[in-house]
Amino acid sequence: MAISGYLIVIALFLGMVIFCFLWGLLEYKKPKDAGPLFIDLDRSIRKRLIRKKRNTAKAPNNEHVAHSKLELTMGESGEESHSSDVKETIRVRGDLRISKGEIIPYNMIVDGNLTSQEDVIFQGGLHVKGRVVIGARNRLEKSIVCQKELFLSKDVTVNNCIDCEGRVLIKKGLRLGASLEGGAIASRSTIYLEKPIGPLRIKSKKGVRVVGVLNDVIPQDLKTIIEVTGA
């Protein structure tokens, strides 16, 4: 009787082990996952901006009026139009800091915060779940999507769109929308601009402010990050 009980316990244990590996074995024999999913960041951004533009047209507000004034008062950008055909996408777990003068040849999804120093070239799009700090004279061939605040240092070029959940702070010299698809800025918070170049399409839930000196409105914690990283 004791031996049969012992055998039953062993059989149950073996059954549990086999059950744990059963689904993996079935997936190995007949895989259902075709492979990594390619994410077209620009297409998803354009759809979202078009949807926001339609909503704005249906319900005009003060923010749309500020947007129109900005378009009328800013001069044309002389940036040459071109597009990027980067298709490879990589994902970064955690925070990412990019050194001065680097060239990033792919689309990037960053699960943490992203900081870049001066003269960095992003040949693909950026999708960042944290804060974004972009250094002076950076060039982005596609779009920026971020879920927290965004800071762009002076003379930054973004060939497509900027789409942020948090506030957007942009120093002077921004060139936006040099690609064939054009460009726009969208935020659910306030957008602060310091002498941008060229006509800008802007949608901000909490309004747009053109300031003389951007440093006057940058939060102290963000100033510390900018000084430490040299952005």
How many domains is the chain built from? Answer: 2
Q: pLDDT for 57-86, tens place per residue?
A: 544 433 333 333 333 223 333 333 344 566
Give the whole-angstrom CA distance, residue 115 versus residue 134: 6
Statement to judge: residues 55 and 30 lie in one domain:
no
Statement to judge: residues 134 and 163 lie in one domain:
yes
Q: pLDDT for 110-163, tens place per residue?
A: 999 999 999 999 999 999 999 999 999 999 999 999 999 999 999 999 988 899
Statement to judge: residues 198 and 91 lie in one domain:
yes
Statement to judge: residues 104 and 196 lie in one domain:
yes
Statement to judge: residues 163 and 113 lie in one domain:
yes
Mean pLDDT confidence for 173-187: 78
Statement to judge: residues 92 and 14 lie in one domain:
no
Statement to judge: residues 123 and 172 lie in one domain:
yes
Statement to judge: residues 20 and 108 lie in one domain:
no
Statement to judge: residues 151 and 209 lie in one domain:
yes
Q: Which domain holds residue 61?
A: 41-229
Statement to judge: residues 155 and 213 lie in one domain:
yes
Q: Does 1 score more than 70 pLDDT? A: no
b/e code 1-36 from CB counts within 10 Å (16+ = b): eeeeeeeeeeeeeeeeeeeeeeeeeeeeeeeeeeee
Q: Which residues contact 219 (CB under 8 A, 6 or more apart)?
A: none
Q: Are the C-beta atoms of residues 104 and 110 closer than 8 Å to each other? A: no
Q: Are the C-beta atoms of residues 168 and 147 closer than 8 Å to each other? A: no
Statement to judge: residues 85 and 68 lie in one domain:
yes
Statement to judge: residues 10 and 107 lie in one domain:
no
- On whether the pTM is more than 0.75, the answer is no
Q: pLDDT for 193-223, tens place per residue?
A: 987 666 678 888 888 888 888 888 888 888 8
Q: pLDDT for 5-53, tens place per residue?
A: 777 878 887 878 777 777 677 776 776 655 544 555 555 555 555 665 5
